Structure 1
Amino acid sequence: MRAGSRDDADVIVVGAGPAGSSTAHWCASAGLDVLLLEKSAFPRDKICGDGLTPRAVAELARMGVDLDPADGWIRNEGLRVFAGRRSWELPWPDVTAFPGYGSAMARATLDHRLAQHAQRSGAKLLERTKVTGPLLDERSGRTVGVRAQTADRRDVVYRAPVVVAADGVSSRFATALGITRRDDRPLGTAYRTYFRSEGTARHEDAWMESHLELWSGAPGKSDLLPGYGWIFALGDGTVNVGLGSVSSTPARQSAVGHDYKALLQQWTQNTPEDWGFTPENQVGPIRGAALPMGFNRTPLYRDGTTLVGDAGGMVSPFNGEGIAYALQAGRVAADAIAQARTRTTDAAREAVLGGYAERMRADLGGYYTLGRAFVRLIEHPAIMRFGTRYALPVPVVMQFVVKLLSDCYEPRGGDWVDRLIAALARVAPAA
């Protein structure tokens, strides 16, 4: 694992989103020489709901990120859920494993701050450096670096014993190695835009708002879609407004064929006037992206390449949340990479590096399996309608749902809801 005389770093990280910057931070903090490559220049936009659950906030705290509200880290108290023409305000679960608040920040700002944090930890960031493919050892086929193109279109090669693919949902790096997406995992679609909200009812809302009934047309007179709409105040005078839909497989999603951009436009046009979701207040276009869920690209480690975040399909099938798991994956991957340096044989180093995948599978595999079952259920409009109208209003069900969907439960101990969710996640096969 120790970088040789021909190596440019101990580890190369491809992509400076939350997963890549987390990996770079933790590797640099462990004393590794880190090269973080980003194809764009900061600040740059990414399509996302911009919401940060308490689980994500906990990961940021572990990284030592300063979460001072004065610096734009708005705090929210929980979820305001709309379903069946009723609404509930559900505080984030009171558990010791996570803080009692979430946050929200536009990805253009969040990603830039996390990349800067990785730099302060010692990582070397190269912006406008597009990785074009892996560099393979001619004899073993192992990844030993990357091929890249600089801002002035020069072709360059960077070498390292380990490369971390954090290049998002398409992960061209993993695809080039033959690590392709799985067709037996859920796939989500999300579309969002921004609205100026100063002086409106949405400005600095203390609740992340979720609309569980997402209709293709007039409520009650059209198709009920498997997904939800959201409104997240960002604390900077704008709100992120979007919708997401999920299918149990990519094939089922292709068969649906809804125009989600038009659906989002229709939804915002029908919102109350005092919300201010008007064309005049809209900031930027409606943009969409795929959400890779439930470990939809495996293996997470193979022959010198580690997959983190969206590259490994780590979005939760329950709620479309990906930032928390991207940050977690970076931390776990960095630990494996740092530990591998202490081993004295190639076989021992490979075993430790491969342990990253096993640890992620142990932590999240059962939970994601439950999420896949959840997606298969809500694909049926009758089940979705029954759940939102009759099951959700029951207080004990509501308590269970907010912990399960937010992944904010005590993994050990806690109340009976925590113990039930933990037990279900343990017994579910972590495939």
Structure 2
Amino acid sequence: MGDVSTTFDVLIIGAGPSGASAAVHAARAGLQTLLIDASVFPRDKTCGDGLTPRAIHQLDLLGVGDQVTSSYSNKGLKLHGFGGSVEAPWPDTYVTNRGSAMARSAFDDLLFRLAQSYAEVTTWENASAENAVLDGNDLKAVVVNHGGVEKTVSAKFVIVADGVRSPFGKKLGRVWHRNEVYGIAARAYCETPLSDEPWIHSHVELRDEEGTVQPGYGWIFPLGNGSVNVGCGALSTDKRPAKINTKKLLSFYASQRRQAWQLGPEHDVASALLPMGGAVSNVAGKNWMLIGDAAACVNPLNGEGIDYGLETAAMAVETITANQKRDLTLVWPHVLRDAYGETFMLARTAARLLTYPQFLPLAGPLAFRGPLQKAIMPAAARLMGNLITEEDRDILAQAWGAAGSAISWARKGSPLWDSTL
């Protein structure tokens, strides 16, 4: 099987934001950690690049929040559509009201270098996890192709953070349930003199060239570096697939915004499919767990995944340190459901409504032009960003919590990080 490496306390597969931050938390816990990635940094990834206050809070805990927000910060979200616009500032009720955005090539490199700075962390780039050596649900070793050299790595615990496709997660039995809502998205970068605009913008009236309203939204996220991230995403299920060419839709959306934003041509266009809202099965075994995008920890209402990636990284290390001698097969799904279960189940249900062609054309004008516009839309933005706190007790927040409990009961058979199929 090739060279046998030293046994590590933790092997982390994937060095994006989830994996790199998990390595930092593991190092701080005194765990000897191997962090591997199939690419060489810096490298790009399809993403909207937005960083909500939830993400900034996690970056503060990692010690790099100020480094990120010093180059660019934003006040909140501006929602547009159906003849209206609404400003939704980040709420003061959350632990921080700072948001930001940073191109993923720079953001991922920042966190990867942070992980490298710890003596407890060994990093391998150009290293792909090829095979799992399993004894039932116990992951005994991982065969890694490191720069063309096959190595067998043993670790007490393995954290799988290899993204939305999760190729290694599939080898461990991960299943993505496409009967639940998932996202299809495309993004590009455009130069603009307006890259310091202090708001991120979302257009929820996303129309194609024929004028048909699509079940999703377009976005423009300023980056503060002379460019913006421009993108669009649509929601889909296997029964109601979004019948669009995302790159073509992106080009049309950018053309609609070009004059107002003084946009240059799109470049670095990329697209991706996004499993959302915990709609995957088999996310843990005796000594391994999936985190971040690999565990479908993506908000179905806005496509946000970085904040959940950073959070699940910290949660995974906490779970490992607290359960050194326990089987994690049921423990880790329980941790995820306890943290996000009701929120994700409600968000998946709300997102499912958007996949019905009749819903947005009827509901959109009421939300943006109706008498409740100023109350509903800022609250919707807050809820979409999952920024509700225990102190945030307004009527809509209470309604969100009550609806979450009811929907969780009504859809209790729906997959949500099931440990078995």
Could you state the TM-score of these two structures normalised by the residue count of structure 1?
Answer: 0.88
1:317 matches 2:300:
yes
User: Which is further off, 81-90 or 32-41?
Assistant: 81-90
Distance 1:107 1:360, change over 3 A: same
1:56 matches 2:44:
no
- Residue 335 of structure 2 is matched in structure 1 by 359
Q: Shift of the alpha carbon at 1:316?
A: 0.7
Q: Which amino acid aligns with 2:240?
A: R
Q: Shift of the alpha carbon at 1:403?
A: 1.6
Q: Which amino acid aligns with 1:40?
A: S
1:44–1:108 CA contact under 8 A, matched in 2? yes
1:203 matches 2:199:
no
SS in 1 for 2:188: strand
1:145–1:163 CA contact under 8 A, matched in 2? no
Distance 1:70 1:354, change over 3 A: closer
1:227 matches 2:216:
yes
Distance 2:225 2:6 in 1: 43
Distance 1:63 1:83 in 2: 37
1:212 matches 2:204:
yes
Q: Which amino acid aligns with 2:141?
A: G
Q: Shift of the alpha carbon at 1:181?
A: 1.2
- Residue 21 of structure 1 is matched in structure 2 by 20
SS in 1 for 2:153: strand
Q: Shift of the alpha carbon at 1:413?
A: 5.0
* Seq. identity, %: 33
Q: Shift of the alpha carbon at 1:423?
A: 3.3
Q: Shift of the alpha carbon at 1:272?
A: 4.2
| Aligned residues: CA RMSD | 2.0
User: Which consecutive residues of structure 2, in runs of 5 or more, have no partner in the other structure?
Assistant: 417-421
Distance 1:336 1:87, change over 3 A: same
- Residue 350 of structure 1 is matched in structure 2 by 327
**2:321 maps to which of 324, 338, 360:** 338
Q: Which amino acid aligns with 1:367?
A: T
1:115 matches 2:112:
yes
User: Which consecutive residues of structure 1, in runs of 5 or more, have no partner in the other structure?
Assistant: 344-348
Distance 1:303 1:398 in 2: 44
SS in 2 for 1:368: helix
**2:138 maps to which of 127, 139, 142:** 142
2:87–2:378 CA contact under 8 A, matched in 1? no
Distance 1:416 1:274 in 2: 36
- Residue 402 of structure 2 is matched in structure 1 by 423
Distance 1:133 1:213, change over 3 A: same
- Residue 289 of structure 1 is matched in structure 2 by 272
Q: Which amino acid aligns with 1:373?
A: T
Q: Shift of the alpha carbon at 1:285?
A: 3.2
1:410 matches 2:367:
no
- Residue 278 of structure 1 is matched in structure 2 by 264
1:308 matches 2:291:
yes
Q: Shift of the alpha carbon at 1:299?
A: 2.7
1:191–1:260 CA contact under 8 A, matched in 2? yes
Distance 1:120 1:422, change over 3 A: farther
1:367–1:428 CA contact under 8 A, matched in 2? no
SS in 2 for 1:243: strand
1:27–1:337 CA contact under 8 A, matched in 2? no
Q: Shift of the alpha carbon at 1:7?
A: 5.1
Could you state the TM-score of these two structures normalised by the residue count of structure 2?
Answer: 0.90
Q: Shift of the alpha carbon at 1:251?
A: 4.5
**1:92 maps to which of 76, 90, 93:** 90
Distance 1:8 1:278, change over 3 A: same
- Residue 269 of structure 1 is matched in structure 2 by 255
* Count of residue pairs the alignment pairs up: 403
